[in-house]
């Protein structure tokens, strides 16, 4: 048999694994931690190699591992340097994209003319300028924030190379909704059978995680994601997109597929309720408003709107008074204003003089817990913003806040424009679904720092890559 380069590589890999198995067994028998560490390094190196050789597959590997890293962290029993893993994976994907020279369609994107991309570039310049902010006390805090921001920008660039057609968009949306359904199902298992022992031990070990998980009415569940808040926001966005997909004609989405979508929606709704994220409860109806306004002339849209309104009325006014999840949902819409909302309003009013006195903000990572960690003694340290726009104006000034708002505005505007530009009904629904989910995420910024959370930033920057790329592909 003639040896080819492919055969030589295959035999080399087989021989390497044959040698590694006894080595790993010996190391593990003498030192378990060293054996586990070596195994993780080898598996990680193999995954990074896959990401380099196939950056499109690496894009999905990065999302999957990043979304499930909190679960692995809880299994380990202690907080780990997950950022290093994320950086290594994403850089491997970027190197693969560079070596493969990306996709030819990337040349159609006008990086320095597109309004959304220009907002991102200007915001990046603001972040670099914050290094010279005299209010900042820590270089480390600025470095950590820049590192996370650059990670998002790299992810966006890779996404612009991954989404080369509407078929790629459909593939991503299938993957994203399947991943969300898996997260929702895992959350339901947590609710029905209780947290696993290692999950209980992990939240009991860290005070801040215990405080955000345990509430008066029970436990805020988080699935395999980092916390309940980010999990609830993603569940709400997915519910919006799937309800929109249900309005498709039977020739576009068949009845069996719609049944699967309905089951997924039910799991998502249950998971959203179990997460205890009141912001997510408000996001769903507000996000659907975007879709209803764009499709009021369609019969299926009216039917879905009526069904959603009926279900909402049953939840809000039905004879369910002992279920803590339903009670928490109701408090987001009816009844007296929650005291926590009043506290946030008083905090915003109290901090307004600082906003006016510092047009360039107090520097990145100076508010909340990050302020205590990186900038102790800062005037903003330990000030809980609970608001993405408020954090932006306090840390980067009014210009930074306006650019953050601009991200959302142009994301929604381009998605709606794509909705009217694309031809096929399924693609139209995906575009308006992204617009509706992005609008809901923008609303959630008022109660959560949505754009900087790891999982939600993955969702938003993937949406940005999709709408920008489709804008130029459909224009051609």
pLDDT digits (tens, 9 = 90+) for 161-172: 999 989 999 999
Give the Cβ contact number of residue 225 at 10 Å: 27
Residue predicted with more confidence, 241 or 338: 241
Q: What is the mean pLDDT of residues 377-401?
A: 85
pLDDT tens by residue, 124-173: 999 999 888 888 877 888 898 999 999 999 999 999 999 998 999 999 99
H or E segment at 405?
helix 388-421
Q: What is the mean pLDDT of residues 78-103?
A: 82
Strands (DSSP E) contained in 38-150 are none
CA 361 to chain CA centroid, Å, is: 26
CA 256 to chain CA centroid, Å, is: 29
pLDDT tens by residue, 317-350: 666 656 666 666 666 566 555 555 666 677 777 8
Do residues 75 and 126 make contact, with C-beta atoms less than 8 angstroms apart?
no
What proportion of the chain, given as a percentage, has pLDDT over 90? 32
- Helix, strand, coil fractions of the chain, as percent rounded to 5: 75, 0, 20
Q: What is the mean pLDDT of residues 300-327?
A: 68
Residues contacting residue 336 through CB under 8 Å, at least 6 positions apart: none
For residue 84, give both structure tokens: 């290093």
**Distance in angstroms (rounded) separating the CA atoms of residues 465 and 116:** 10
- Interstrand relation of 214-215 and 218-219 (parallel, antiparallel or unpaired): antiparallel
Residues contacting residue 419 through CB under 8 Å, at least 6 positions apart: 294, 428, 431, 432, 435
Q: How confident is the model at residue 1 (pLDDT cuts 50, 70, 90)?
A: very low
Which span out of 8-12, 271-275, 296-300, 337-341 was modeled with the highest average pLDDT? 271-275
Give the burial string for 413-436 (b: 16+ CB within 10 Å, else e). Answer: ebbbbbbebbeeebbbbbbbbbbb
Q: How confident is the model at residue 22 (pLDDT cuts 50, 70, 90)?
A: low
The pLDDT value given to residue 378? 82
Helix 166-193, helix 255-275: angle, nearest 10: 50
Reported pTM: 0.86
H or E segment at 118?
helix 115-129
User: Considering all CA atoms of the chain, what is the largest pairwise distance in Å, rounded to the nearest integer?
Assistant: 80
> CA–CA distance from 471 to each of 36, 108, 197, 416, 475 (Å)?
47, 10, 48, 10, 6
Residues contacting residue 132 through CB under 8 Å, at least 6 positions apart: none
What radius of gyration do the chain's Cα atoms show? 24
CA 202 to chain CA centroid, Å, is: 22
**Distance in angstroms (rounded) separating the CA atoms of residues 461 and 94:** 15
Please say if the pLDDT value at position 431 is more than 80: yes
The 3-state secondary structure of 171-228 reads HHHHHHHHHHHHHHHHHHHHHHHCCCHHHHHHHHHCHHHHHHHEECCEECCCCCCCCH
For residue 229, give both structure tokens: 């808040």
User: DSSP characters for 127-162?
Assistant: HHHGGG-TT---HHHHHHHHHHHHHHHHHHHHHHHH
**Distance in angstroms (rounded) separating the CA atoms of residues 210 and 179:** 26
């Amino acid at each position: 048999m003639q040896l080819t380069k492919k055969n030589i590589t295959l035999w080399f890999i087989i021989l390497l694994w044959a040698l590694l198995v006894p080595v790993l067994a010996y190391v593990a028998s003498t030192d378990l931690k060293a054996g586990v560490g070596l195994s993780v390094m080898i598996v990680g190196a193999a995954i990074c190699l896959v990401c380099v050789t196939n950056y499109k597959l690496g894009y999905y590997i990065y999302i999957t591992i990043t979304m499930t890293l909190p679960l692995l962290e809880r299994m380990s029993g202690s907080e780990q340097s997950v950022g290093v893993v994320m950086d290594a994976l994403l850089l491997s994907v970027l190197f693969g994209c560079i070596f493969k020279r990306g996709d030819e369609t990337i040349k159609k994107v006008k990086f320095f003319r597109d309004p959304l991309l220009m907002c991102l570039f200007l915001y990046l310049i603001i972040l670099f300028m914050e290094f010279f902010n005299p209010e900042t006390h820590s270089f480390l805090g600025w470095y950590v924030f820049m590192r996370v921001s650059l990670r998002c920008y790299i992810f966006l660039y890779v996404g612009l190379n991954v989404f080369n057609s509407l078929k790629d968009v459909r593939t991503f949306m299938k993957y994203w909704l399947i991943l969300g359904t898996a997260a929702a199902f895992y959350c339901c298992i947590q609710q029905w059978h209780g947290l696993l022992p290692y999950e209980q031990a992990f939240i009991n070990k860290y005070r801040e995680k215990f405080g955000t998980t345990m509430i008066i009415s029970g436990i805020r569940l988080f699935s395999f994601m980092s916390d309940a808040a980010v999990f609830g926001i993603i569940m709400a966005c997915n519910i919006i997109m799937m309800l929109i997909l249900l309005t498709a004609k039977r020739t576009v989405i068949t009845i069996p597929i719609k049944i699967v979508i309905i089951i997924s929606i039910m799991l998502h709704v249950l998971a959203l309720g179990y997460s205890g994220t009141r912001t997510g409860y408000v996001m769903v109806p507000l996000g659907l408003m975007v879709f209803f306004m764009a499709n009021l002339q369609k019969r299926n849209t009216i039917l879905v709107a009526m069904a959603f309104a009926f279900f909402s009325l049953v939840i809000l006014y039905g004879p369910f008074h002992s279920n803590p999840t339903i009670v928490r949902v109701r408090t987001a819409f009816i009844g007296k204003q929650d005291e926590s909302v009043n506290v946030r309003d008083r905090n915003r009013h109290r901090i307004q003089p600082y906003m006016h006195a510092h047009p360039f903000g107090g520097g990145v990572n100076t508010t909340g817990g990050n302020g205590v960690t990186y900038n102790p003694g800062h005037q903003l340290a330990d000030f809980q913003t609970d608001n993405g726009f408020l954090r932006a104006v306090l840390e980067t000034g009014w210009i930074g806040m306006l650019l953050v708002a601009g991200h959302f505005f142009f994301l929604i505007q381009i998605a709606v424009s794509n909705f009217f530009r694309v031809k096929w009904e399924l693609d139209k629904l995906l575009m308006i679904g992204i617009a509706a989910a992005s609008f809901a995420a923008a609303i959630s910024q008022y109660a959560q720092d949505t754009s900087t959370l790891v999982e939600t930033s993955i969702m938003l920057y993937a949406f940005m890559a999709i709408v920008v790329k489709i804008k130029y592909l459909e224009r051609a």
